[in-house]
Chain A
Amino acid sequence: MKILAICGMGLGSSMILKITLEKVIRQLGLDASVDVTDITAGRSQAESADIVVTSEELAERIGGVKAQIITVKDYFDVQEMTEKLQNAIEKIKKE
């Protein structure tokens, strides 16, 4: 599974999302990789990802893509990320 973490510059907050995501991936025993990128490149890169993780305001700028979009409020909250990631995976399985 390919997960894309997106923030404004693709340097700082997306790296935090990656750290949180990798913790959740280890805990859940998923087979997934996480890439980080910025909002400009993210729109096209999202086409080849299964899940996109970002903030709410940036999610609006990404618009319609095939990937499941997760928006988080607290970037370092493992619990919030776990719930939202599991929801997204459920949705992918149903499709």
Chain B
Amino acid sequence: MSGILSLLIDILSVPAILVGLVAFVGYLATKGKNFSDALAGGIKASIGFFILSGGATILSGSLNVLGPMIETAFHVQGVIPNNEAIVAIALGQLGQSTAIIMVLGFVFNLILARITPFKYIFLTGHHALYMAALLSASLTVIGLSGWVLWLVGGLVLGFLEVLMPAWTQHLATQVSGKSEWTIGHFSSLSYVSAGFAAKKLGGDPKTTSAEDMKFSKSLGFLRESMVSTGIIMFIVFLVPAFFMSAAARSTLGGDTNWVVYLLTQALTFSAGVAVVIYGVRTILADIVPAFSGIAEKIVPDAKPALDIPVVFPYGANSVIIGFLSSFVAGAIMMLIMGNVGLAAIVPGLVPHFFVGGGAGVIGNAFGGRRGAIVGGIVNGIIISLGAALLLPALGGLGFANTTFGDADFQWVGILVGLIGKLFVH
């Protein structure tokens, strides 16, 4: 009997199997799906987890080259915020607790939506997964483990999944004119601040809307994260190389020319991120629709909280304005922060595009084109500072040369770290 029990515990401690089981059960609970669909869905989700781990191995190789280069050139820690990269690396050690916290987060989301006035269902599955990873990392650092870690993590995640959408509801309504859905994207702090600042500092949203402007579409390629990550990483690799001594630079790639070598490293990083994204998609493709189906049965009057690009159709120009102003603010912040002893946070194109773009749309809705610029800048400042201040709260992961890119992951992690300092130690 104890043999079977320990076998069961062994099975459940493998995160890939745990994720597969969740998808399997979720599938069974979905209308119109049979047992063989469910089995295939479960197996796919498990494999997705291994795909994700493979991506982590690919991109860590490239980060391990970059970290020492930045140290040698500038004598500061250089960090590239990229959710996929940090989560993939974190899951290597924290896979089990992350998977359990994510599942408990779903459960608490349903319970809270059912019994509190915050009737929201968080449908951005990848952000739920990333927040679960952030919570497992930061709560482990302050000393929680086992059941306590899982319960506290799941409860915090469940609360965030109803409270953050409630906090951003007024923004979604202002942008779309509808209140049937809201934003479910863990950058709420950026969005709320962008809306607030745009209202104070922006112009009249009706007469100065950014959407009335003629705008070049040539930046559309930035939507392709594989391309934009490859480009920015090549620049990120080149800059420290120029500041290294000629001798150190020439030995970087061994027999290979150093520029060619750095190009391969940059593209390798982008490839790793692409593999991680594919893994995350394979894991979530069946879990998220199943969760949505279950939620509709348990909390039929709840509103869905959706990923940020759902606001993009309401402000195509504002997305570009928000992205550019956020990115420029991020670049200036990197220079300032590197000089005052904080880690230099390299502005990543992906968080600045999606969150900066969203902040731009929200800013435009509250304050016209000036509001869109203000919204982007506010986001650029918040996610740069947040990324640097989060590092100590992540323990060993803080030295991974990559970190979380969105504001809510950052403030939650920082808050957990502070609570740990005050009460636990």
A binds B: yes
Chain A residues with CB under 8 Å of chain B are 7-13, 15-16, 18-19, 22, 26, 35-40, 55-58, 60-61, 72-77
B300 at the interface (CB under 8 A from A): no
Contact A9-B277, Cβ < 8 Å, known A26-B31, A76-B310: yes
Q: Are B316 and A74 in contact (CB under 8 A)?
A: no
Residues from chain B with a CB closer than 8 A to the CB of A56 are: 313, 316
Pairs of residues from A and B, 4 with the lowest C-beta to C-beta distance, nearest first? A12-B307, A13-B309, A11-B126, A73-B313
Question: When chains A and B are docked, how far (Å) is the Cα of A49 from the Cα of B322?
Answer: 34
Q: How far is the CA of A80 from the CA of B15 in the complex (A)?
A: 39
Give residues of chain B (282-298) contacting chain A, Cβ–Cβ below 8 Å: 284-285, 288-289, 292
**Is the C-beta of B123 less than 8 angstroms from some C-beta in chain A?**
yes
Closest to B308 in A: A12
Q: How far is the CB of A34 from chain B (nearest CB, A)?
A: 9
Q: Is the CB of B306 within 8 A of A60?
A: no
Q: Is the CB of A16 within 8 A of B307?
A: yes
Contact B309 A15, beta carbon cutoff 8 Å: no
The reply to whether the CB of B220 lies closer than 8 angstroms to some CB of chain A is yes
29 interchain pairs, CB-CB under 8 A: A8-B224, A9-B126, A11-B126, A11-B280, A13-B310, A15-B124, A15-B289, A16-B123, A16-B304, A18-B285, A19-B123, A19-B289, A26-B31, A35-B285, A36-B281, A38-B225, A38-B281, A39-B223, A40-B226, A55-B312, A55-B313, A57-B312, A57-B313, A60-B217, A72-B313, A73-B314, A74-B313, A75-B306, A76-B304
A38→B124 contact, CB < 8 A: no
Q: Counting CB contacts under 8 A, is B227 at the interface?
A: yes
B411 partner residues in chain A, CB cutoff 8 A: none
B303 to chain A, nearest CB (A): 9
CB nearest neighbor in A for B281: A10
Contact B220 A15 (CB under 8 A): no
A80 → chain B, closest Cβ, in Å? 11
Q: Confirm or deny: B181 has a beta carbon within 8 angstroms of a beta carbon on chain A.
A: yes
Query: How many B residues touch the partner, as a band?
Result: 35 or more
Most buried by A among B274, B277, B281, B292: B281
> How far is B319's CA from A8's CA once the two chains are assembled, in angstroms?
13
How far, in whole Å, are A16 and B292 apart by their CA atoms in the complex? Answer: 9
Chain A residue numbers with a CB within 8 Å of B366 are: none
Interface residues of B (CB under 8 A from A): 31-32, 123-127, 176, 178, 180-181, 185, 217, 220-221, 223-227, 274, 277, 280-281, 284-285, 288-289, 292, 304, 306-310, 312-314, 316, 354
CA distance A15 to B32 in the complex (A): 18
Pair B223/A12 contact, Cβ less than 8 Å: no
How far, in angstroms, from A17 to B178 measured CA to CA in the complex? 18
Which residues of the partner chain A approach B127 to less than 8 Å between Cβ atoms?
A: 12
Chain B residues contacting A74 (CB-CB under 8 Å) are 176, 178, 310, 313
CA distance A12 to B312 in the complex (A): 13
The answer to whether B223 touches A58, judged by C-beta atoms less than 8 angstroms apart, is yes
Q: Please, how many angstroms separate the alpha-carbon atoms of A77 and B181 in the complex?
A: 10
Other-chain contact of B225, A8, A15, A36, A72 (Cβ < 8 Å):
A8
Residue in chain B with minimal CB distance to A43: B224
B220 and A57 contacting across the interface, CB-CB below 8 Å: yes
Identify which of A40, A55, A76 contacts B309 (C-beta below 8 A).
A55
Q: Which of A26, A39, A73 contacts B224 (CB 8 A)?
A: A39
For B316, the chain A residues whose CB sits under 8 A away are: 56-57
Complex: A13 Cα to B357 Cα, angstroms: 15
CB distance from A57 to the nearest CB of B (A): 5
CB-CB under 8 A from B220, the residues of chain A are: 57, 60-61
Which B residues lie within 8 Å of A19 (CB)? Answer: 123, 288-289, 292
CB-CB under 8 A from B314, the residues of chain A are 73
Given contacts A18-B289, A36-B281, whether A12 and B124 have CB atoms under 8 Å apart is: yes
Taking A7-B307, A76-B304 as known contacts, 7 extra A-B pairs with beta carbons closer than 8 A to each other, sorted by chain A number, are A12-B124, A12-B126, A12-B309, A15-B288, A36-B285, A38-B281, A57-B217
CA distance A54 to B66 in the complex (A): 36
Q: Do B354 and A8 touch across chains, with their CB atoms under 8 A apart?
A: yes
> Closest approach, in angstroms, between the C-beta of B245 and any C-beta of chain A?
38
Give the most central of A10, A36, A37: most B CB within 10 Å.
A10
Q: Which residues of B contact A57 (CB under 8 A)?
A: 217, 220, 223, 312-313, 316
Chain B's closest residue to A25 (CB) is B32
| Residues from chain A with Cβ under 8 Å of B289 in the complex | 15, 18-19, 22
* Residue in A35, A36, A38 whose Cβ sees the most chain B Cβ within 10 Å: A38
Whether B285 pairs with A15 at a CB distance below 8 angstroms is yes
A13 vs B306: C-alpha distance when bound (angstroms)? 7
Residue of B224, B226, B308 ringed by the most chain A CB atoms within 10 A: B224
